[in-house]
Structure 1
Amino acid sequence: MKAVAPGTVIFHRHRGYGVIVHVNLLTGWISARFGNESRTLDLNLSSDEVQHADGEPILFRRMPPDRMPHARLMAMVRELHKAGYQKLYLYSWPKPSGLHWRWHLFTGKRDWMQRPWREGWYGSGAEYNNNPVMGWGDSPGATTDELIHALAKFDPQGLAQALGKDEDHTAWFADVCDLLLPGYMYSLDMQRATAGGLRDMPAVPVVPVRAGLPHYSGPSISWPPGWAGLWTRTHAMPTRRINLTGEPELR
């Protein structure tokens, strides 16, 4: 199948030849401009019989795909844990708007408070909507094994940092995957403190990754190892005291 991207010349049986100006590979909708028309026309690749310029049909899967990649990432991390890459951690949290969820795969020492400083790979559900790939040379809809091989080829040094044992986290992660996959993902976003303070143990948010799925109604999942007590203190790294006098401080 040929690539479908902005700038691709297409043929439509009612409009003739045109050029794609926008593609949403998650939903299968494109915007195209035909002839001298100043406005674009929205077309669905599943039902509007769009063709390449040489007459080859452009086919798009009719099943609604995952609207965010987190469940696919969870399946990949579980397989890497089985292969000995247990120092690989998946953190996910919502954007301020609440419409999309970000994700961060990080390696090395497990320290949730220092996660932003850990090496790894980032992504956003908002970007995934228009380009449903993780960003390390994978293809849209790649299987778990294909995702693993693409990541190992893209950044072998980075993935090597995940080699090692973390049996507590691996066991927790396997249990969570058994409960949630393939339709749901977890978010490690902690509730903000209110006037009454933080609760001792708020619930772990669970979110469907596919449109049309009901709200999660299964067993509650626990927080990952290493999160005990994080709800009762400030969730920020301590900063060094600034010395404006220029005089050395006694310790």
Structure 2
Amino acid sequence: MKPIAPGTVIFHRHRGYGVITAVNLMTGWISARFGNEMRTLDLNLSTDEVQHADGEAILFRRTPPDPMPHARLMAMVRELHKAGYQRLYLYSWPKPSGLHWRWHLFTGPRNWMERPWREGWYGSGAEYNCNPVMGWGDAPGETTEELASTLAQFDPTGLAQALGRDEDHAAWFDMVCEALLPDYTFSLGWDKQDGRIPEALPVIPVRRGVPEYSGPALPWPPGWTKLLGSAHLASTTATVLPKPAKSSKDKPDTVK
């Protein structure tokens, strides 16, 4: 399915060609401007027979786009591991509803509690649902190879810090990707109100209509069992994204 994002050109049989100005991937509602009209028109992709500019139907109800990018991020990290960037890590804590989730890429030492934050290397559902990009200059719908290339161009200094070997984590991550992609992702966050921390890695589908995961139980990352007693790691609410950085990406990392 082609990407649906602000700037996508569409066709409506009663309005003609238009451009999407706003989108919500959770509900399927979009705002679009047609011709020289000043006001935007609200449309629902499930019922209003909106098409792409080339005539391809947008079957939002049958094949909705992924409301979270975690599977795409996993595939990109996996490829970068194969290229020698094994010190690149994905801290992922989505929610089953798809409404509240976070992701964070970091490099260097594998320290889950004190992860370095770099501009463009983290995101949230509130942003992605309205504009399905990662935030490092990528375009909607980029392939795994394109995402990796765009990240390297956006922050070569940051990606260079991922060069190196972490074979234990790379092997674990490859095993998890093999079991979960392309329909599922994992979560490293856990709310106390959900009960005890499970023995196996929590698995969550990345889109609606995907059956519950029935594959083998997956282990937590290497060294994670030593941290399971930490409230900081056990609770998704304890991890908060930093405020947007005012400085350029070339300045030193700030550690949370």
Query: Which structure 2 residues correspond to residues 185-224 of structure 1 after superposition, within 5 A?
Result: 185-192=185-192, 202-224=199-221
Q: How does 1:109-120 map to 2 (within 5 A)?
A: 109-115=109-115, 117-119=116-118
* Larger Rg belongs to: 1
Match of 1:228 among 215, 225, 229: 225
Cα 1:176/1:170, change in 2 over 3 Å: same
Gaps of at least 5 residues in structure 2 are: 239-256
Q: Deviations over 1:113-144 (max 9, x none)?
A: 112x4547101123212111111121211111
Give the 5 Å matches for 1:1-251.
5=6, 12-14=12-14, 22-24=22-24, 29-32=29-32, 40-44=41-45, 48-49=49-50, 59=56, 61-62=58-59, 63-94=63-94, 99-115=99-115, 117-119=116-118, 121-192=121-192, 202-235=199-232
Q: Is the 8 A contact 2:172 2:222 kept in 1?
A: yes
| 8 Å Cα contact 1:67/1:210 also seen in 2 | yes
Counterpart of 1:222, as a letter, is P
- Is the contact between residue 67 and residue 206 of structure 2 (CA under 8 Å) also seen in structure 1? yes
TM norm structure 2? 0.72
Output the amino acid matched with 2:210.
L
Structure 1 residue 234, shift from structure 2 partner: 4.0
Q: Matched residue pairs, number? A: 227
1:82–1:45 distance in 2 versus 1, CA, 3 Å = same
Amino acid at match of 1:182: P
RMSD across aligned positions (CA): 3.8
Aligned identity (percent) is: 62
Unaligned runs of 5+ in 1: 238-251
Distance 1:119 1:17, change over 3 A: closer
3-state SS, counterpart of residue 170 of structure 1: helix
Counterpart amino acid of residue 209 in structure 1: V
Structure 2 CA distance for aligned equivalents of residues 45 and 96 of structure 1: 22
Question: Which structure has the higher relative contact order (CA within 8 Å, separation 6+)?
Answer: 2
Q: Which moved more, 1:121-130 or 1:10-19?
A: 10-19
